């Protein structure tokens, strides 16, 4: 039954990913407000909650949101910066960190796999809908590079490593280490079309099954960084918490077309009165409550999927705050726009 469920999930995600973006899923006014605050004229997305740096994750999110808003000009601008300033490695992956005050601006040449996934996925969807072969070719190169450098087999699972170096079993005493929020599930059916030689269906299936393994502590929530060296546990050198990374996992699950209560139920534990909790996974201690609308909409969408609770009206309007929650907010609103009749 589990394998049948995963197959159905993959087919649903494939249908969603292949759907034509005839009507923009991000409202023009919302995208205008977002880009006014976070899109530099050079084409870089500014992470104003992280010292004003830019990174591959932000560029990938920017590309995806520009595509979902139907803004080809902004997509091209963001892609131009990404291509010239971040795609500097010789393996088709992006360097992850770009600092405006540093010289040179690139201060860490390692990749961040979630950024590569988001960039490739955005290029693939835009390339298909806007008939741009260059986007499709580049997306295919990135996807094949992810497969070659950042996929590894461990105890029968195919794992998506957070980077090409530093996280594998041979790199760390507690390796391999993964980050569950790097599985952008909606992207994998698209990757299967670009790179049929890699079993992206298994990548998706093993990621979904790993969510159950990642449930740790009294609240059964995954830590941001998970060691799979032996018994799954929080990785060494990282806070042992369900935090800013893992909180986006249910959003990725929902956006890929999955509404399975068994997968989403543990994430009900992240909800607090007025926000999402940052939690010590071992003790269940709440360390912080995040009340930004961009975080709260994830909690609201999860509640809708589990109990058909309508999304509060105040979360359906967008005013930019900081880069990260504002990005998640627009992705949540795009999900609502694509699934009219649910959560409204």
- What pLDDT does 266 receive? 87
- Give the residue numbers annotated as catalytic, written as ranges: 57, 114
DSSP sequence for 110-169: S--HHHHHHHHHHHHHHHHHTT-HHHHHHHHHHHHHHHHHHEEEETTEEEE-SSSSSSST
pLDDT band, very low/low/confident/very high, at 8 (cuts 50, 70, 90)? very low
- In which band, very low, low, confident or very high, does the pLDDT at 17 lie, cut at 50, 70 and 90? low
pLDDT digits (tens, 9 = 90+) for 298-333: 999 999 999 888 999 999 999 999 999 999 999 999
Average pLDDT, integer, range 267-292:
91
Distance CA 148, CA 93 (A): 11
If one compares 323 and 261, the residue with the highest pLDDT of the two is: 323
Average pLDDT estimate for 9-27: 62
Q: What is the pLDDT of residues 182-205, one digit of tens each?
A: 999 999 999 999 999 999 999 999
d(CA 93, CA 99): 18
Across 235-248, average pLDDT: 97
CB 46 within 8 A of CB 38: yes
Q: How many residues does the chain have?
A: 344
Q: What distance in Å separates the CA atoms of residue 338 and residue 17, rounded to the nearest whole number?
A: 11
Q: Give residue 278's pLDDT.
A: 96
- What residue spans define the domains of the chain? 2-239
pLDDT in the model for residue 212: 86
- pLDDT tens, 141-173? 999 999 999 999 999 999 999 999 999 999 999
Assigned CATH class of 2-239: mainly alpha
Peptide bond into 176 cis (omega under 30): yes
Q: What is the pTM of this model?
A: 0.94
pLDDT reported for residue 341: 67
User: Per-residue confidence at 259, pLDDT binned at 50, 70, 90?
Assistant: confident
Average pLDDT score over residue span 285-310? 93
Chain-wide mean pLDDT for the chain?
92
Q: What are phi and psi of 125, to 5 degrees?
A: -65, -45
Q: Is the pLDDT of residue 16 over 90?
A: no
């Amino acid at each position: 039954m589990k394998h049948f469920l995963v197959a159905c999930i993959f087919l649903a995600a494939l249908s969603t990913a292949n759907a034509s973006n005839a009507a923009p899923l991000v409202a023009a006014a919302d995208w205008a407000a977002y880009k006014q605050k976070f899109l530099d004229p050079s084409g870089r997305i500014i992470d104003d909650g992280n010292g004003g740096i830019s990174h591959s994750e932000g560029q990938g999110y920017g590309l995806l949101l520009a595509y979902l808003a139907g803004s080809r000009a902004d997509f091209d601008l963001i892609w131009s910066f990404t291509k010239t300033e971040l795609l500097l490695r010789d393996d088709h992956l992006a360097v992850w960190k770009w600092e405006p005050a540093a010289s040179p601006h690139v201060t860490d040449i390692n990749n961040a796999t979630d950024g590569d996934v988001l960039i490739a996925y955005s290029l693939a969807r835009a390339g298909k809908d806007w008939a741009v072969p260059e986007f499709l070719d580049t997306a295919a190169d990135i996807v094949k590079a992810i497969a070659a450098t950042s996929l590894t087999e461990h105890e029968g699972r195919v794992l998506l490593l957070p980077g090409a170096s530093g996280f594998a079993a041979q790199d760390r005493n507690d390796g391999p280490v993964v980050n569950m929020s790097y599985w952008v599930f909606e992207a994998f059916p698209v990757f299967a079309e670009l790179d049929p030689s890699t079993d992206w269906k298994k990548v998706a299936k093993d990621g979904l099954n790993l969510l159950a393994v990642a449930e740790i502590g009294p609240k059964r929530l995954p830590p941001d960084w998970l060691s799979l060296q032996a018994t799954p546990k929080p990785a060494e050198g990282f806070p042992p918490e369900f935090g800013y990374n893992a909180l986006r996992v249910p959003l990725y699950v929902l956006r890929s077309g999955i509404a399975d209560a068994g997968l989403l139920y543990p994430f009900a534990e992240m909800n607090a009165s007025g926000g999402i909790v940052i939690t010590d996974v071992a003790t269940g201690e709440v360390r912080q409550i995040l009340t930004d609308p961009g975080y709260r909409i994830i909690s609201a969408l999860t509640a809708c999927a589990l109990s058909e609770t309508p999304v509060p009206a105040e979360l359906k309007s967008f005013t930019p705050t900081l880069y990260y929650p504002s990005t998640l907010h627009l992705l949540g609103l795009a999900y609502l726009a694509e699934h009219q009749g649910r959560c409204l």
